[in-house]
């Protein structure tokens, strides 16, 4: 790394340590020519994740937005915030591991529903109703029927 002071091309690293829970490294450097000291940071490059919406418009993926949707769906339900954070982190990880930067909003919706169904049925139905309202209301009713059948089965057991 070039010295910002005298522009000499070699610097030595005096100290190097992980920060931000290991997501970056901070290095203290010293110029081999003028002894000027400075700090550099090394961090993983994050490729932006783009969500393609139903109308074909695109927006950058936002964990906050996903969390808001999850929190709304789980209002007054016995679901810990931590569980929702885990869902969001898991989904994001899966999306990033695909290696493509574009993802359809539908796919995220399905991923959320798969996970919410295991956490809380009411939250699942709420999310599904909001998520699917522009698609087809009959799909939502089918979901409800499935859940009611589910409940009855539970009672009969």
Residues that bind Zn ion (CB under 5 A): 3, 5-6, 8, 31, 33-34, 36
Closest approach, Cβ 38 to Zn ion, in A, equals 9
Judged by beta carbon, residue 38 or residue 140, the one nearer Zn ion is 38
Judged by beta carbon, residue 6 or residue 89, the one nearer Zn ion is 6
Closest approach, Cβ 36 to Zn ion, in A, equals 4
Q: Which phi and psi (to 5°) does residue 20 adopt?
A: 50, 50
Closest approach, Cβ 39 to Zn ion, in A, equals 14
> What is the C-alpha separation between 73 and 119, in angstroms, rounded?
11
Closest approach, Cβ 1 to Zn ion, in A, equals 11
Say if residues 103 and 116 touch (Cβ distance below 8 Å): no
Judged by beta carbon, residue 3 or residue 95, the one nearer Zn ion is 3
């Amino acid at each position: 790394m070039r010295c910002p002071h005298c522009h000499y091309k070699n610097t030595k690293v005096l100290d190097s340590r992980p920060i931000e829970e290991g997501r970056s490294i901070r290095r203290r450097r010293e110029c081999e020519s003028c002894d000027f000291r400075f700090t550099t940071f090394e961090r993983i490059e994050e490729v932006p994740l783009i969500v393609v919406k139903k109308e074909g418009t695109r927006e950058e993926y936002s964990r906050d937005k996903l969390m808001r949707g999850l929190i709304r769906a789980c209002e007054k339900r016995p679901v810990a915030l931590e569980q929702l954070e885990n869902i969001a982190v898991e989904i994001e990880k899966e999306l990033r591991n695909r290696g493509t930067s574009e993802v359809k909003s539908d796919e995220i919706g399905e991923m959320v529903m798969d996970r919410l169904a295991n956490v809380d049925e009411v939250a699942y139905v709420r999310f599904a109703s909001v998520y699917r309202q522009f698609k087809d209301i009959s799909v939502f009713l089918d979901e409800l029927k499935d859940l009611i059948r589910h409940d009855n089965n539970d009672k009969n057991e």
